[in-house]
Amino acid sequence: MRLQGKTAIVTGGAQGQGAAIAAAFVAEGARVAIADLADTEGEALARELGESARFEHHDVSDPDSWVRLVATVEDAWGPVDVLVNNAGVLRFGSVEKMPLAEFDLLVAVNLRGCFLGMQSVARSMRKNAGGSIINTSSIEGLGGMAFCTAYAGTKWAIRGMTKAAAMELGPSGIRVNSVHPGMIDTAMTRVHGGDEAMAYGASKVALKRVGQPDDVAPFYVYLASDESSFVTGAEFAIDGGATATHAFGG
Instruction: Mark the segment that binds ligand NAD (CB under 6 A) among 46-54, 74-82, 83-91, 124-132.
Output: 83-91
The correct pick among 10, 181, 219, 225 for binding ligand NAD (CB under 6 A) is 181
117 near ligand NAD (CB under 6 A): no
Binding residues for ligand NAD, rule CB under 6 A, total 30
**8 A C-beta contact, residue 222 and residue 228:** yes
Interaction of residue 60 with ligand NAD, rule CB under 6 A: yes
* Stretch touching ligand NAD by CB under 6 A, among 88-96, 115-123, 217-225, 226-234: 88-96
Q: Measured from the CB of residue 80, what is the shortest distance to ligand NAD in angstroms?
A: 16
Q: Rule CB under 6 A: is residue 153 a binding residue for ligand NAD?
A: no
The residue range among 36-44, 45-53, 170-178, 228-236 that interacts with ligand NAD, by the rule CB under 6 A, is 36-44
Residues that bind ligand NAD (CB under 6 A): 11-12, 14-18, 36-38, 58-61, 86-90, 109, 113, 136, 138, 181, 183-184, 186-189
Active site residues: 151
